[in-house]
Chain A
């Protein structure tokens, strides 16, 4: 073990070319981390500068970046996460997908800011990072194996203290719903990042690091962290709701507001919501909490279902495999969620796509036994999706493609090709705008306005009003981009304000960053992502929700509402400094130090 502590500025970018099997370490450029911090921002910048427009995301031309940030493996709470950044096969745009667990901390302790995978191997491999030693190893023995077996076998083959990020059969078969799994049940789930990994024949990255992590101003960080931990302790969501119930605490809350998508968003109220709620999970299946690295919240669950210990299920997974498909069997949902984890599939997109197919069947567009409320055959269908077999191969492309294929594109509940998560946008106007404008598509985490619009954090704002929502969406989008580049967990957002993040990142890096500067970094990242997507052909028409959300919900506490994107979007563009077509102005790009490329 090294006795000297390593600053983030001394961490390396690890370039791994799988085509010619070379590994190169390069220092992280100063202007890169000053302008983009790390994580998501760093990855987006590297992709923007190095990917040619129009490349096939599943070709060797695509890059797959695993990145951590300046706060990773320091004392900053929740800072053990990692980000996967790539061009998404699901959306065709830039994409970042995040996972908790313990892998990120190992990567950083190995002296790495980002692993940049280029090219593709001709045979299955895994990457073994053991501090300064990096090997590309044969993975043929674990190719085809589920993520749990893969994890166990690769730890056995390397170091018992190593951490693994791997794909399952879904990634190997390059399906658009494929996730990258770590610690067996934490997922960088969205956007088909697992498919990109599979396209490179990279089964896993195994990391073990023993370096001490230093920060530029330990005293300042100690003060900021002490305060940050106190705020988590004093906040009801982070100290009670999430530790006690986990994320499924939201099932009843969202259902009460009539915005728990049911039967592929045909309704917003699920009659059996209580049966699949966080309260019921606690009573029936939950065994213990799961804390990711450095996390004092512990929102993760370990459950026992049908005699098996399983991870989760989380709120989004309960929704997608439950109400979205009309299913009220919590124990079955836990098992289906576990199957997705083993196969390496994004639970949100797979459940949403199955729900979409159920509606295709309901409306006579497709003949199949899948029907709302019936679990029969779904576990087998999930297997077929992962292995790209039969109808499963079609589902594996995601709801946008399969709905179009069967003549009903309006039945796909997606934005930019990514399935929308568990909040009906008709019941939350700001969140709806967040869905429509998200650079990575239908995502709840790019601007989590559920905080203010539903949970009253930091204050309750009228969920039905469009006034001021563009402003709040931009604030949350910019802050989230910065948080994703530090890299810390989104749930800290309930307890911390912009200034807290700025204090911690400033202490870690020594950069002169206050709250406003942090938001500017977030804005820079957001606008660069926008430019990437524009370069790929995205237009204003992609900042839209499916037509279903222009039709009111028939009943429940969000009835008679529609998502008023057309009201909010012009103001959003204007406040962003974009023209009426959603293009960032040259002046803005110059202010943000983004290279102008039209």
Chain B
């Protein structure tokens, strides 16, 4: 895959979502996003007004999370959050799906939840965070179809606060499911240009990361060797390897682990690497 540094930068949502984030940190985030010409800054609602002011003369968008990080609040609350942040100037809204409802197969509620945010978003783009680490592949596919049907612009893998980050496996399924008409945003645990390129190769067109500068700066190493992109052990990027019973529902955890038993790369799953 050949992608320029500028093109790579344009896929990145420069992200700070930690609770301890100060205004100073938001200012730094925005300045960096302008310097590197990132696609957007991704922040919490309390910082939207300030970020909009800082970025008013730039092409960098302001993206705000909604119903974050659990997604377990009411549709009308997510909608109200959306209206407020859009009114403050947010250009994009990353909402968290009602994951529990999806697992309950209460698909109507999942859809209404997304539709409420889409309706409240005006011209802003809506990305729906599925929190893929809490889902099986079939559930992920269903979630993607609901989001598409509900009029969302993007599906997004993870909050970064859940049990797993983004994996090429998940992104590939999401892209295959939503087709070319929607965006796919990968977020969670993407820290290097190698990870970013793999995720893009799998179908993502937006990356949420707090390591944007490192990814872009380190990408300059790529011109000096092709060996960075040598294949790793397949388990390294497999969600099954990252499954964690302490953080996932038992049946989801077991679903992931049972895939290992029939995996064609099973012989690589030997060492603690």
Contact = CB atoms under 8 A, between A and B. Distances in A.
B225 A460 contact: no
Contacts of B218: 458-459, 497
Given A471-B225, A557-B272, A459 B214 contact: no
Given A458-B192, A460-B192, A471 B226 contact: yes
A519 B231 CA distance: 25
Interface string B71-110: 0000000000000000000000000000000000000000
Contacts of B195: 459
B220 A557 contact: no
A452 B229 CA distance: 12
A312 B213 CA distance: 32
Contacts of A460: 192, 194, 232, 236
Interface string B260-273: 00000000000111
A497 B221 contact: yes
- Interface centre among A458, A472, A519, by most B CB within 10 Å? A458
A234 interface: yes
Contacts of B230: 461-462, 465, 467-468
Contacts of A459: 192-195, 218, 221, 228
Contacts of B227: 461, 467-469, 471-472
A542 interface: no
A458 B228 contact: yes
Interface string A508-550: 0000000100010000000000000000000000000000000
B233 interface: yes
Given A231-B217, A459-B193, A498-B220, A475 B225 contact: yes
A294 to B, nearest CB: 21
A407 interface: no
B271 A557 contact: yes
Contacts of A557: 271-273
Contacts of A465: 230, 232
Given A234-B214, A456-B192, A459-B218, A464 B224 contact: no
A557 B273 CA distance: 7
A35 B272 CA distance: 46
Q: Is the interface of B mostly helix, strand, loop or mixed?
A: helix
A458 B193 contact: yes
Nearest to B221: A458
Contacts of B272: 557
A463 B272 CA distance: 12
A235 interface: yes
Interface residues of B, number: 25
A499 interface: yes
Nearest to A457: B218
A460 B236 CA distance: 10
Interface in B155-193: 191-193
Interface in B116-158: none
Interface string A439-473: 00000000000001000101111111101110110
A475 B222 CA distance: 11
Nearest to A467: B230
Nearest to B228: A459
A497 to B, nearest CB: 4
Contacts, number: 74
A498 B230 CA distance: 20
Contact of B228 (A231, A461, A464): A461
Contacts of A456: 191-192
Contacts of A559: 271
Nearest to A227: B217
Interface in B195-216: 195, 213-214
Interface string A395-438: 00000000000000000000000000000000000000000000
Contacts of B192: 456, 458-460
B240 to A, nearest CB: 18
B224 A234 contact: no
B220 A499 contact: yes
A471 B221 CA distance: 13
A325 B233 CA distance: 34
Contacts of A458: 192-193, 214, 218, 221, 228
B40 to A, nearest CB: 19
A498 B232 contact: no
B228 A515 contact: no
A243 to B, nearest CB: 17
A468 B233 CA distance: 14
A234 B213 contact: yes
A231 B221 CA distance: 14
A577 to B, nearest CB: 16
A559 B214 CA distance: 33
Contact of B224 (A231, A467, A468, A498): A498
Interface in A468-505: 468-469, 471-472, 475, 497-499
B12 to A, nearest CB: 14
A471 B226 CA distance: 8
Contact of B214 (A235, A463, A471): A235
A199 B193 CA distance: 50
B221 A462 contact: no
Contacts of A464: 233, 271, 273
B225 A461 contact: no
B221 A498 contact: yes
Nearest to A235: B214
Contacts of B232: 460-462, 465
Contacts of B191: 456
Given A461-B230, A462-B231, A515-B223, 5 more contacts: A234-B214, A461-B228, A465-B232, A468-B230, A472-B227
15 contacts: A231-B217, A234-B214, A456-B191, A462-B233, A462-B273, A463-B273, A464-B271, A465-B230, A468-B227, A468-B230, A471-B225, A475-B224, A499-B220, A515-B224, A557-B271
Interface of B: 191-195, 213-214, 217-218, 220-221, 223-228, 230-233, 236, 271-273
List 7 tightest A-B contacts by C-beta distance, closest first.
A468-B227, A458-B218, A459-B194, A459-B192, A468-B230, A497-B220, A471-B227
